[in-house]
Each structure stands twice: as C-alpha cells, then as structure tokens.
C-alpha cells in the first residue's frame, strides 16, 4: 500500500532517504501537503545549515562556447550573439571589487571556451586565492583530467558542473556530441580530485517526467554533492527550444525542498533562474530549503551578453546594487549573511579550512 504523504515527509526528515517512487509521490503533492513539505525542508535547513545565507559572487568571464546544448543561448550556433572574453587583469579587478562588498567566494563561469589555457585559469585561480583570500569555484564545463588536477593544485576549492538531467535519453537529445557517461565520469573525477563538487539540474525541460526528476535527485544524492543548483528551464528564443514551455516555480521549489530532505548538508542556491521567472522566486526558495544566493558581479556591459535565457534579472544593476538588494532580501526573512568562506560543512572540507 502506498504510504501517506505525511509519512513519507516524516521519514525523509528523519532518515534523509527516499525511494524513487516516494520522490515521485512527493513531487506531485499539493495544498496542505505541499506546505508541510516546504516547512520540513526549512526545518532541516535550519538544523543542519543554520540561518546564515552564503553569497557567491558570479563572474561570467567569457560567453564563448563550443557546445550546442539545445536549451542555452550561449550555444555555438547562436551566431548573432556578440561574444566577449575578459582577461586576467579584468577578472582580478572584478573579484577585488567584490571583497569590500563582503564576498568570500567567487565563481568563475564561462561557456566551454578552450581559448583559456589550463595554465591561464590556474594563474587566475591562484591569484584570487592568494592575493584576495577568496574561495574559488570554477564552472568551465567539461575539461580534461589534467586540467582539473592542475586547477585543484593551483588552489581551486570547488567545481560546479551541472548534470542538467539524469534522464539518459533526454540528456542525449539535448546535448549533441556529449554523453551522459562522460558527464558522470567528469563529476566523479572532480570528486576524486578533492573538489567540493557542485552539480544540479533544470526543471521543466521538454520531455522531462517526474520519473526523470526523481532520477536527478537520486543522482545528486548518490554523488553526495556539496552543492546542488536546481532551477527552472526557461525557453530561449534563439535556441531550438524557443517554443517549449518553461518550467514551473512550484515544481522547482518542490525539487529544492526534497533535495534538502535528502541532502541535509548540501549547499542549495536560490537560483537566479527562479528569481527571473518569479519576482519572489529566490525568497520562496530560501524558505523551502535553500541557503545560498549567487549574485552576479559581472560588470554591467557584459551581463546582457551572457544571455543563457531571456529576461534574466539584474541586467541593469551593478554589483553594489545587487549586494544591497540581496542583503535586504536575506534580512527581511530574518536570516543573516554568512561571514565565513562557506565551505561544505562535511568534515573533510572543514578540517584545516576557513
């Protein structure tokens, strides 16, 4: 006999484990049960991660990409998009300006752009760490084992590589010339190299089912990620998925809440994509399990060109303005901005680290 919703939520809150069919059941809950799910996730977040919200300053340093992901506006086939690359001095200056705003971590993100040699990225990561005292997250897509190792040795703390979807067929359909097997291999490699690993998925991709989404959560749990970014799919008019429907706010929030129950110690961002389709999206995520925000610290003139999906928030705002805005959101929820580096609370990452 199928367990009641309440029973499943209680069990997940206590044991942080769920079967695939139980996840699917929770993903379809509504009304008072949905409220119960969000409240349980919020409680688990407070117990394991506290009331602090960690800020990660996002630097979108190159919008060049060699890939052709069907959903993404940076895809190589989007020829009319003006492309830009920031150099080392610009990146260090942007990160330097984020320090007085209170940032302790920067995320270096780009499309898959081989114009940046592994050595160059290593130098940048090293300078951000040594000169500015920042924790460094890299998010540069799939690269070779040697590259990942070089960067880790240069001091990069974390690597963010979303798995996008754990539905193998859907993964294949959305990613020409890429395979689920490679993605998985890269993620396990990053884990072996001692990175704090971030992954994550989109919600509401065309063809995605509740079964696909349950697989996403089970994959994140199996990989035992230190961070999981879960955001809605937003159709981009410059891609083959222009006419697809966007992901729902509610389903995205359910995914975040269940992720919190399953992975009490994972950092879960209230994603920019969620904030872009719902003006209160990030606030809603922060009270449904999320404990991280990743404000954009890319200079204004480049933001517009990092057009992964349309109507991204903060396009006309500068880093200081976004920092203020986020500070306001966090205090309005009775939460505080974290003072530390925000490493994973797992023991292997806190011993000897800030």
> Binding of ligand 5AD at residue 159 (CB under 6 A)?
no
Pick one of ligand FES, ligand SF4, ligand 5AD, none as the site partner of residue 322 (Cβ within 5 to 8 A by kind): ligand FES
Q: What are phi and psi of 149, to 5 degrees?
A: -70, -45
Q: Which is nearer to ligand 5AD, 29 or 190 (CB)?
A: 190
85 bridge partner residues: 62
Beta bridge partners of 230: 201
Taking CB under 6 A as the criterion, the residue among 162, 163, 284, 303 binding ligand 5AD is 162
- Residue 273 binding result from ligand SF4, ligand 5AD, ligand FES, none, given CB thresholds of 5 to 8 Å by partner type: ligand 5AD
What mask, x for binding ligand 5AD by CB under 6 A, covers residues 288 to 327? --------------------xx------------------
Q: Which parts of 79-118 interact with ligand SF4 (CB under 6 A)?
A: 111-112
CA angle 286, 236, 209 (to 5 degrees): 65
State the first-to-last Cα distance of the chain, in angstroms, to the nearest integer.
48
SS3 60: strand
Binding residues for ligand SF4 restricted to 131-150, rule: CB under 6 A: 141
Q: How many residues does the chain have?
A: 354
Q: Over 190-208, what HEC string results?
A: HHHCCCEEEEEEEECCCCC
x-marked contacts with ligand 5AD along 16-55 as a string, rule CB under 6 A: ----------------------------------------
Query: Which one of 89-97, 187-195, 211-219, 230-238 is the stretch in contact with ligand 5AD (CB under 6 A)?
Result: 230-238
Nearer to ligand 5AD, 227 or 338 (CB): 227
Residue 18, sorted as left (phi over 0), alpha (psi -120 to 50) or beta, turns out to be: beta
155: left (phi over 0), alpha (psi -120 to 50) or beta: left
Binding to ligand SF4 by residue 124, rule CB under 6 A? no
Write out the binding residues for ligand 5AD, residues 58-97 only, by CB under 6 A: 71-72
Fill in the per-residue mask, 274 to 313: x = in contact with ligand FES (CB under 6 A), - = not in contact.
---------------------x-----------------x
Q: Is 235 in the site for ligand FES (CB under 6 A)?
A: no
Helices (H), the chain: 5-15, 20-27, 31-49, 88-98, 118-130, 145-153, 168-174, 180-192, 210-223, 249-262, 272-277, 281-286, 300-303, 319-332, 347-350
Cβ atoms of 156 and 125 within 8 Å: the answer is: yes
Q: d(Cα 225, Cα 131) in Å, to the nearest integer?
A: 28
By beta-carbon proximity to ligand 5AD, the closer residue of 122 and 202 is: 202
Count of residues that interact with ligand FES, criterion CB under 6 A: 8
295 binds, among ligand SF4, ligand FES, ligand 5AD, none (CB under 5 to 8 A by kind): ligand FES
- Quote the DSSP letter at residue 287: T
Q: What is the DSSP string of 127-156?
A: HHHHTT--EEEEE--S--HHHHHHHHHTT-
Tell which one of 266, 322, 330, 338 touches ligand FES (CB under 6 A): 322
Please select the residue that binds ligand SF4; options are 44, 53, 58, 69, rule is CB under 6 A: 69
| CB closer to ligand FES out of 154 and 326 | 326
Classify residue 315 by burial, with Cβ atoms within 10 Å: 0-12, 13-18, 19+: middle
State which of residues 99, 193, 325, 341 lies at the interface with ligand FES (CB under 6 A).
325
Q: Which residues bind ligand 5AD (CB under 6 A)?
A: 71-72, 162, 164, 202, 231, 233-234, 236, 273, 308-309
Q: Which residues bind ligand FES (CB under 6 A)?
A: 295, 313-314, 317, 321-322, 325-326
Q: Which residues bind ligand SF4 (CB under 6 A)?
A: 65, 67, 69, 72, 74-75, 111-112, 141
């Amino acid at each position: 006999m199928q367990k009641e919703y309440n029973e499943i939520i209680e069990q997940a809150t206590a044991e942080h484990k769920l079967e695939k069919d139980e996840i699917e059941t929770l993903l379809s809950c509504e009304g008072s049960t949905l409220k119960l799910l969000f409240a349980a996730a919020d409680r688990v977040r407070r117990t394991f991660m506290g009331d602090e919200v960690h800020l990660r300053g996002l630097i979108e340093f190159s919008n060049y990409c060699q890939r052709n992901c069907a959903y993404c506006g940076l895809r190589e086939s989007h020829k009319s998009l003006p492309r830009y690359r920031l150099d080392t001095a610009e990146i260090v200056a942007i990160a330097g300006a984020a320090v007085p705003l209170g940032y302790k971590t920067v995320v270096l993100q780009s499309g898959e752009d081989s114009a940046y040699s592994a050595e160059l990225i290593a130098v940048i990561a090293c300078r951000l760490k040594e000169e500015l005292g920042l924790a460094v997250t890299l998010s540069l897509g799939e690269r070779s084992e040697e590259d990942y190792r070089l960067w880790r040795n240069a001091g990069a703390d974390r690597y963010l590589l979303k798995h996008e979807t754990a539905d193998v067929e859907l993964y294949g359909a959305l990613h020409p010339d890429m395979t689920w097997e490679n993605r998985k291999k890269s993620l396990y490699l990053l884990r072996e190299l001692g990175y704090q690993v971030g992954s994550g998925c989109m919600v509401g991709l065309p063809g995605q089912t509740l079964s696909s989404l349950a697989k996403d959560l089970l994959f994140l749990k199996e990989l035992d990620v230190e961070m999981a970014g879960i955001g809605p799919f937003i159709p981009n008019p410059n891609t083959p998925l222009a006419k697809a429907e966007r992901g729902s706010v509610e389903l995205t929030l359910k995914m975040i809440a269940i992720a919190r129950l399953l992975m009490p110690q994972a950092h879960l961002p209230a994603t920019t994509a969620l904030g872009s389709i719902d003006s209160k999206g990030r606030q809603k995520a922060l009270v449904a399990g999320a404990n991280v925000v990743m404000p954009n610290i890319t200079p204004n003139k480049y933001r517009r060109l990092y057009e992964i999906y349309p109507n991204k928030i903060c396009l006309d705002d500068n880093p200081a303005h976004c920092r203020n805005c986020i500070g306001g959101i966090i205090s309005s929820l009775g939460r505080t901005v974290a003072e530390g580096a925000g490493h994973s609370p797992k023991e292997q990452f806190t011993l000897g680290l800030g």
